[in-house]
Chains A and B, each alone.
Chain A
Amino acid sequence: MLWIDCPWCGARPETEYRYGGEAHIARPDPAATDDAGWADYLFMRTNPKGVHAERWMHREGCRRWFNVLRSTVNNEVLAVYPMGAPRPDVPGGEAEGG
């Protein structure tokens, strides 16, 4: 079970959260995006071995969304940061694969 530091509520078990998939995928301007670009936005996600930026929501707590950097190798949570903030630099942040 993962333990994630909610920025508002502190460390809580995974079961209180909802996973929200990869972070930093902005909704593109529909008028300026072709079909391939739209499919990319809807469906295509990276699958790194290493650091993954992802969204979580504290469903059974404050219900706030935030971003997490997690290592997919050992599930270590490397950083927690607000929605809209840039991805922080962490050691080993360059993921393999994709």
Chain B
Amino acid sequence: MSRIIDVHDLNFSFGSGALSQPVLKNVTVSIQKGEIVLMTGPSGSGKTTFLTIIGGLRQAYHGSVRVLDQQLINSSEQVKVSVRQQIGYIFQQHNLLKSLTALQNVSMALEMQNRMTEQQRLDRAAEMLKAVGLGERLNYKPDQLSAGQCQRVSIARALVGQPQIVLADEPTASLDKQSGHEAVTILERLAKESQTTILLVTHDYRILDMADRIVELEDGVIKEK
């Protein structure tokens, strides 16, 4: 199996000089294709920072971060954009576009794929929304949907482009138990079907059983379990 995410001796600090605050210390992790990895750890331990570096949202300068065979350390904007396009994100908040319907929100993830026609995009998006149980809600806008439904739309948006990797940062934190569990179950099912690699940060112990592997980040240091 290939290493789809391969991190070696990653060091990262916020600030510079005397104010420099190290957040990630010699982090070394690799994740295989199709693995579901859950990351836990106390608040402030650097989990979010780690995800933003993996996802090409934040620039790191020390160590080695290979994602989908691209080096993200000291990378150009182009490399980061190309990595972003191959990754699906699920945020803590759903971060849907308020002015767009569920269908339009999901198909936004396909707009960059210029080989598709607009109709194909809409069909794929509708299919994906059906898969997350929102086939009846295609033309609803975010403010007409519940928080759980919105998070399911954002799961559909993250998966519709058939990304190799899905990164999720506490996707259930803003949901009640019931809808949080529903959302994660859907995510797990769909990811398994398409062999998608998942790196998911969570504090929710009830979903730990879906993981192939659990890593813990404490004070910027990785502990495998």
Asked if A and B bind, the verdict is no
**Which B residues contact A (CB, under 8 angstroms)?**
none
